[in-house]
Chains A and B, each alone.
Chain A
Amino acid sequence: MMRRDAVIIGAGPAGMSAAIAMAEAGLKPTVIDENAQTGGQIYRQRPSTRNHRAAPSHNGVVADRGADLRRRFDAVSDRIELLCNRQVWGIFESNRLAVTAPHRWQMIEAEHLLLAPGAYEYVPPFPGWTLPGVLTPGAAQIMTKTQAVLPGQRVLVAGTGPFLLVVAAALHEAGVNVLGVVEAVSRAELLRCGWRLFADLGLLREGGGYLRKLRRAGIPIYDGRIIVGASGDGEVSHVKFAACDRSWRPKKNRSQVIEVDTLCVGYGFVPRTELAQLAGCQLRWSNELGGWIPLIDAGQQTTVRGVWAAGDGAGVAGALVAQEEGTLAGLAMARQLGAIDDDCFEARRRPVVRRLARLRRFRAALDSLSRIRVGLDELCTDETIVCRCEELTQTEIDKGIDAGNNDLRSLKVATRLGMGPCQGRMCAPAMARHLAWRTGQAMDQSTPLQVRPPIVPLTLGDLAEPVSMDLPVQEQMLRETIA
């Protein structure tokens, strides 16, 4: 088995920043990522091999920040062991990682482990959400950015949060006819608490930039409106949205229908906590940070000694917060490994903590705007499929709840909710809300579904192979760096 002092799972903003902090402290961290390149979702790079004829060369502030982070990462990359195209499918005894490699797998023992897996998009069930042609904004972004495939010709982008603007702008630049952006938060509400967004002028300006870009392109913003249903024969062809109140409850008489071939819908993000759960970390519920998150201390360490968490996977707060949290975790790990002393740790930590405090004020304002509201939980009809893998309707779930299954785990046993290949990643956040609503429980009393390995698709044949002992990188280079 490979043994490593410090392993980082995830090469997005948090993981990259942690790796930089550790490398600069003289350590040799190992970074594992499922993608072919660093950057995660937000700083996703175009594949180097593909020739994009229509690709815009410049994608604004976000791309600039990604490029900047990558430059800093590359500057110390000789001290970073980067394992791309690999997925961690299980964690055993809190620090032994089962990692996929093409047609085999191997174990890596991580003495110090940072979890920086990022987040999923939150897509609550609504009538028609399972139709082909309904996808998440993030999926549309991957299609256009990485696979050079346009998700559709007539696309409506909907949900809540600034990410919708980023995706709408990117789709427009790639040549898609973006029919509009449906944002659940109303302009009036945005203006009312918008002053708090002035905590970070740069980010505010950035949001404004996207808005101007869309306006110039003639793309309407339907604010204070919510998607109530999608329909179509075999694929989505019509989307209905309606004006909604501050609880996001649609006003039935004020709806409109538009013709689309694609609907991109997402209501913010849910932290990916599978790895933390497999490592045995205690979770807590945070409405503002996207749901269940690992409980962490001031240095980003979880309740399991030797396991840290940073970035959206530790609470959704965006790429900038993720970078600072990653740096913080990297410094804490470097101190624990004895690479830097307490004074150096304090000196490097202080500016990070200051920046984080400011960013978090901005985020708090944003989060209070884009928090999930009850109207969204009420869109399903009795026949709406709520668990896609097992094709369970709202009625079937309600029968299970009414039979006394008042927590997700027993509801799973009773109804097969979350028993499919996604293990509840898709349905559990929405169903946890629904369960709480129907039983009158508080969300912070709910417990998430148990996570079982493998958390990534893996064939029985892959697993039947004995553990591979091969080192994944040049043995020579490692010997040098470790020595």
Chain B
Amino acid sequence: MKPSHDVIVVGGGVFGSAVAFELAKRSVRVLLIDQSLPGRATSASAGGLWPVGEVVGLGCGIIYHAAQRDGPYEVSVPDVLPQVFRDFLVESNRLFPSVAQELQDVSAVDVEYAPGGGLIFLMYTLQDQAIVDAVARTLPDKGILELLTPDEVFELEPSITRNVIGGARLAEEHQVNPMLLAEAFKRAAVAKGATLRHGTQVSRLQRCGDRIEGVLVDEEFLAAPMTVNAAGAWAASLAATAGIELPIEPVRGQVVLTETLPQVLGTCVSTVNCYLMQKSHGEVLIGSTTERVGFDVSVTEQAISTLCAGAAKAVPMLRDANIKRVWAGLRPGTPDELPILGPVEGIEGIVNAAGGFRTGIVASALVARVIAQHIIGEEPAFNIDPFLASRFVAQAA
């Protein structure tokens, strides 16, 4: 029997939806299976497009690294991720204006791509200054990171506290609505002929020898020559059903959202305590913790309070804003903070598009493109070798 799909994509987060779209666009018969579990990172994400900011650790990274070291944020200098990953994200980020337009045309969904004033890291103390200096030294092209005096910070963002000793600005960092981005990719995929199965759980991958032949949904076997593992924080569990080891684990992030406000922030703002950005509906989003607590998506009163205190320090006028809600998502975390893309060594019929960690949204545009190109046998627009799952095997050996 000939399978009715060429490719099955498991996971309707931003990676899975984007891959389904890129495949459908290339006339591949694709089935997207989406379960939408609570805690999906795409729905919890802030939607920052910070290719350089995240790679040098001035977005969520600084909070993550402090949590990793179990020490106060102030004494933690984040690691800088490899140059190749920065190039990947910068390239992906560059695609966004055209991707947003394309999605608008095909799916009629506005993903709220908003080029703003960039990302500003606020320096409260000399230690913060030291972090920025360390980061600046790693950047080959000096123009990317612009140092601001307190007055320049104020001029750019009048609502920010005057109690800063300066700021560091990355001008090409923007934002998008992550949920609408995934939704737009999904609808665009369907518009291009993809099939969507919503609210459906894949119980396991169907493996026969060294080949993945499809997936099991309840007791139903769905066959396809190629399956894409885009199951986000659950990608490791899915891979494990076929005896494949993937080093992906959930890293919880708690997020606070204010009520809709008039314009407070035109830029994305990050500090050692939290980051803030005003979304296109006027809510200010404040993120985010980085906690390894398994698949627990509950929020904690301590984290909420800490994030609020951080936000009130950075933008004092937010004190009077009502909180609309607080929630948590599970980033698909990998040991080296890089995504896991491409084929699995020694096993046919499966490709990973997972491990988006804290850069999944900005990476999604290029991830989808290179995965689709890989599947149809084209030369990928970006070499995916550095992101293969086998890099961890090599390390272990």
Q: Which residues on A are within 8 Å of B, measured CB to CB?
A: 90, 92-93, 96, 98, 107, 403-407, 409-410, 413-414, 416, 420-421, 423, 450, 452-454, 457-461, 463-467
Rounded to whole angstroms, the CA-CA distance of A457 and B321 in the bound complex is 10
B272-331, CB < 8 A from A: 281, 298-301, 304-305, 308-309, 311-312, 318-327
Q: Is the CB of A454 within 8 A of B325?
A: yes
Known interface pairs A404-B190, A460-B308; A454-B281 also in contact (CB < 8 Å): no
Q: Is the CB of A90 within 8 A of B199?
A: no
Residue numbers in B under 8 Å from A423 (CB-CB):
324-325
Residue numbers in B under 8 Å from A410 (CB-CB):
36, 198-199
Which of B259, B312, B318, B326 touches A452 (beta carbons < 8 Å)?
Answer: B326
Rounded to whole angstroms, the CA-CA distance of A92 and B199 in the bound complex is 28
Residue numbers in A under 8 Å from B179 (CB-CB):
413-414
Known interface pairs A404-B190, A461-B312, A464-B319; A453-B183 also in contact (CB < 8 Å): no
Lowest 9 CB-CB distances: which A-B pairs, in order? A461-B319, A452-B325, A464-B308, A463-B308, A464-B309, A464-B312, A413-B179, A460-B308, A404-B198
A421 to chain B, nearest CB (A): 6
Rounded to whole angstroms, the CA-CA distance of A404 and B199 in the bound complex is 10
Does B258 reach chain A (CB closer than 8 Å)?
yes
Of chain A, the residue at the smallest CB distance from B320 is A459
Chain A interface main SS type: loop
Does B3 reach chain A (CB closer than 8 Å)?
no
Residue numbers in B under 8 Å from A465 (CB-CB):
305
Q: Is the CB of A459 within 8 A of B322?
A: yes
Known interface pairs A416-B281, A458-B323, A464-B309; A404-B196 also in contact (CB < 8 Å): yes
Of chain B, the residue at the smallest CB distance from A400 is B183
Would you give 14 A-B contacts (Cβ < 8 Å), ordered by A?
A: A90-B299, A92-B301, A98-B301, A413-B179, A421-B324, A423-B324, A452-B327, A453-B325, A460-B311, A461-B308, A461-B318, A463-B305, A466-B305, A467-B301
Does B38 reach chain A (CB closer than 8 Å)?
yes
Rounded to whole angstroms, the CA-CA distance of A151 and B43 in the bound complex is 41
Known interface pairs A406-B199, A413-B179; A459-B323 also in contact (CB < 8 Å): yes
A464 to chain B, nearest CB (A): 4
Which of A92, A405, A454 touches B323 (beta carbons < 8 Å)?
Answer: A454
Scoring A413, A450, A464 by chain B CB atoms within 10 A of each residue's CB, the highest score goes to A464
Q: Is the CB of B324 within 8 A of A460?
A: no
Q: Is the CB of B327 within 8 A of A460?
A: no
Rounded to whole angstroms, the CA-CA distance of A465 and B305 in the bound complex is 7
Rounded to whole angstroms, the CA-CA distance of A460 and B199 in the bound complex is 35
Rounded to whole angstroms, the CA-CA distance of A452 and B298 in the bound complex is 9
Q: Is the CB of A413 within 8 A of B196?
A: no
Of chain A, the residue at the smallest CB distance from B302 is A467
Residue numbers in A under 8 Å from B322 (CB-CB):
421, 457-460
A259 to chain B, nearest CB (A): 35
Q: Is the CB of B305 within 8 A of A464?
A: yes
Residue numbers in A under 8 Å from B358 (CB-CB):
none
Does B174 reach chain A (CB closer than 8 Å)?
no
A341 to chain B, nearest CB (A): 37
Which of A406, A414, A453, A461 touches B320 (beta carbons < 8 Å)?
Answer: A461
Residue numbers in B under 8 Å from A98 (CB-CB):
301
Of chain B, the residue at the smallest CB distance from A463 is B308
Does B192 reach chain A (CB closer than 8 Å)?
no
Count, chain B residues at interface, CB 8 A? 35
Residue numbers in A under 8 Å from B259 (CB-CB):
421
Known contacts A410-B36, A459-B321, A460-B319, then 8 further A-B pairs from the complex at CB < 8 Å, ordered by chain A residue = A90-B301, A93-B298, A403-B187, A413-B36, A452-B325, A459-B320, A460-B318, A461-B319
A425 to chain B, nearest CB (A): 12
Rounded to whole angstroms, the CA-CA distance of A53 and B325 in the bound complex is 42
Residue numbers in A under 8 Å from B311 (CB-CB):
460, 464
Residue numbers in A under 8 Å from B258 (CB-CB):
460
Residue numbers in A under 8 Å from B325 (CB-CB):
423, 452-454
Known interface pairs A406-B198, A416-B281, A463-B323; A92-B298 also in contact (CB < 8 Å): yes
Residue numbers in B under 8 Å from A406 (CB-CB):
198-199
Rounded to whole angstroms, the CA-CA distance of A406 and B198 in the bound complex is 8
Q: Is the CB of A414 within 8 A of B183?
A: yes
Residue numbers in B under 8 Å from A463 (CB-CB):
256, 304-305, 308, 323
Residue numbers in A under 8 Å from B308 (CB-CB):
460-461, 463-464
Rounded to whole angstroms, the CA-CA distance of A410 and B300 in the bound complex is 24
Rounded to whole angstroms, the CA-CA distance of A212 and B196 in the bound complex is 59
Residue numbers in A under 8 Å from B38 (CB-CB):
450
B285 to chain A, nearest CB (A): 12
Residue numbers in A under 8 Å from B186 (CB-CB):
404
Rounded to whole angstroms, the CA-CA distance of A280 and B348 in the bound complex is 42
Q: Is the CB of A459 within 8 A of B300?
A: no
B252 to chain A, nearest CB (A): 14
Of chain B, the residue at the smallest CB distance from A106 is B301
Q: Is the CB of A407 within 8 A of B199?
A: yes
- B165-203 contact mask (Cβ, 8 Å, vs A): 1 or 0: 000000000000001000100110010000010110000
Residue numbers in B under 8 Å from A459 (CB-CB):
319-323
B14 to chain A, nearest CB (A): 12
Q: Is the CB of B304 within 8 A of A405?
A: no
- B26-48 contact mask (Cβ, 8 Å, vs A): 1 or 0: 00000000001010000100000
Rounded to whole angstroms, the CA-CA distance of A90 and B322 in the bound complex is 15
Rounded to whole angstroms, the CA-CA distance of A88 and B256 in the bound complex is 18
B233 to chain A, nearest CB (A): 17
Q: Is the CB of B43 within 8 A of A413?
A: yes
Rounded to whole angstroms, the CA-CA distance of A216 and B225 in the bound complex is 79
- B47-77 contact mask (Cβ, 8 Å, vs A): 1 or 0: 0000000000000000000000000000000
A101 to chain B, nearest CB (A): 14
Residue numbers in B under 8 Å from A464 (CB-CB):
305, 308-309, 311-312, 319
Residue numbers in A under 8 Å from B199 (CB-CB):
406-407, 410
Q: Is the CB of B321 within 8 A of A460?
A: yes
Rounded to whole angstroms, the CA-CA distance of A410 and B180 in the bound complex is 11
Residue numbers in B under 8 Å from A407 (CB-CB):
199
Known interface pairs A407-B199, A410-B198, A459-B322; A453-B299 also in contact (CB < 8 Å): yes
Residue numbers in B under 8 Å from A460 (CB-CB):
256, 258, 308, 311-312, 318-323
- B316-356 contact mask (Cβ, 8 Å, vs A): 1 or 0: 00111111111100000000000000000000000000000
Of chain A, the residue at the smallest CB distance from B316 is A461
Q: Is the CB of A453 within 8 A of B281?
A: no
Residue numbers in B under 8 Å from A416 (CB-CB):
281
Scoring A406, A450, A453 by chain B CB atoms within 10 A of each residue's CB, the highest score goes to A453
Q: Is the CB of B326 within 8 A of A454?
A: yes
B267 to chain A, nearest CB (A): 19
Rounded to whole angstroms, the CA-CA distance of A341 and B187 in the bound complex is 61
Residue numbers in A under 8 Å from B324 (CB-CB):
420-421, 423
Rounded to whole angstroms, the CA-CA distance of A162 and B312 in the bound complex is 48
B382 to chain A, nearest CB (A): 29
A2 to chain B, nearest CB (A): 14
Q: Is the CB of B312 within 8 A of A405?
A: no
Q: Is the CB of A453 within 8 A of B36?
A: no
B124 to chain A, nearest CB (A): 16
